[in-house]
Amino acid sequence: MANWGFNWRASLPHLLFLATFWQARSPAADVADLDWAALLGEPTAVAVQRFQVQAAITPTDKSGLTAVTEYGRSHLHKFLQIPETLTQTDKLPPRIIRQTLRWVLLGGVAGIVDSPLWQAVVAMDGEGERPFLLQDSIDMTAVPAGQFLFGPGNVDIDLPAFRMSKTPITQAQYQQFIAANPRYPTPFEDAIWAQAANWPPDSRLAPAQRLDHPVVIVSWYDAMAFCEWAGARLPSEQEWEKAARGEDGRLYPWGMEPPDETRCNFKNQVGDTTPVGHYSPAGDSPYGCVDMSGNVWEWTASPAEPGHTGRVLRGGGFINAAWTVQANYRYSLKPQSRLNVAGFRIAAP
């Protein structure tokens, strides 16, 4: 009888092999050419049998895709907390480790990008060259390098040049991400306040009447997963603010004048999100970004405070008063929060 025992916590190749089963995807070229048998010290078929005997994977789930069980999930979560495992083998480049962890992330496992292992891999691998998948469907605007006045105190901050999506990510754009990742959960919260914004759970399709609205009921983790798939990133709160108010310290994207019904969706005057760009050009920022005041709060990459898990949101939502839709106002939520007034936009170099 075969001996199926091995040290889960100390076997990086085996756990990465397990990670590749989280979601059935066409592997990237650098992973497709990997000699798993050599890394695992046993034939791939034997490794598959090992995981099945240990109840870590099942042949298929209800969608007909190879699936990882809760047993496997629990071990993967333990694995994510141990960045020291990166030193256990010199055969796996960080880019391959990151690729396999991306499969877990895009399989709907929240918290990957916050885990110690992910942070260690990114530090070793860097951002790398990732193709921007949505360049034909997302309009990006350039924000030049230079100083601007940041925060309520108008502190001089210098930033390199970057690009920002002109609008928040829409339901239609998020639909492309969901279609490409069949295990990733759709926006849904089992609450009365979320009913109008929820995606029908059985269709995995965005509400047809809201395709040009900002996507909502998305957590910070969801926004990060979208960015990882799309080849983009979330903006820092400094980048978000510069894109919103320019360099001159204005309170709102359009200037110092208070908001009204011609410039943005605020104070529950509409009672729901509005299509992106509905208030353009009157409400546009100096760089042409729309909806940076009101409509939906937008997740940023920045932590609320050093060492805290909360993440900063900017811009205010359709329910908020004038002072909370100012371009220098910051708010924070736990990264797992999903609200009908919170979405995101993306940034790129």
pLDDT in tens, 281-295: 999 999 999 999 999
Helix (H) or strand (E) run with residue 332 in it: strand 330-333
Q: If 0-12 CB within 10 Å is exposed, 13-18 middle and 19+ buried, where does residue 276 land?
A: buried
pLDDT recorded at residue 75: 82
- Mean pLDDT of the 76-90 span: 83
pLDDT recorded at residue 4: 56
- Mean pLDDT of the 24-38 span: 72
pLDDT recorded at residue 295: 98
pLDDT, tens digit, 9 for 90 and up, residues 102-148? 888 998 888 899 999 999 988 887 666 678 888 888 999 999 999 99
- Mean pLDDT of the 62-86 span: 83
With b for 16 or more beta-carbon neighbours within 10 A and e for fewer, the 258-272 pattern comes to: ebeeebbbbbeeeeb
Q: List the single range of 9-23, 39-53, 193-207, 232-246 with lowest mean pLDDT.
A: 9-23
Residue 14 DSSP label: H
pLDDT band of residue 316 (cuts 50, 70, 90) is very high
Residue 250 backbone phi and psi in degrees, to 5: -65, 155
Instruction: Please tell me the pTM assigned to this model.
Output: 0.92
- Mean pLDDT of the 31-36 span: 78
pLDDT recorded at residue 256: 97
pLDDT recorded at residue 317: 97
Q: Which residue has the higher pLDDT, 187 or 69?
A: 187
pLDDT recorded at residue 27: 57
Q: List the single range of 45-59, 139-153, 260-274 with lowest mean pLDDT.
A: 45-59
What are the structural domains of the chain? 8-125 (no CATH), 140-348 (3.90.1580.10)
Helix (H) or strand (E) run with residue 68 in it: strand 67-68
pLDDT band of residue 210 (cuts 50, 70, 90) is very high
pLDDT recorded at residue 345: 98
pLDDT recorded at residue 1: 41
On average, the pLDDT of the chain sits at 89
204 pLDDT more than 80: yes
Nearest to 341 by CA among 187, 129, 178: 187
Residue 232 DSSP label: -
47 pLDDT more than 90: no
14 pLDDT more than 50: yes
pLDDT, tens digit, 9 for 90 and up, residues 299-313? 999 999 987 889 999
71 pLDDT more than 80: yes
Tell me the helix, strand and coil percentages in the chain, rounded to 5.
Answer: 30, 15, 55
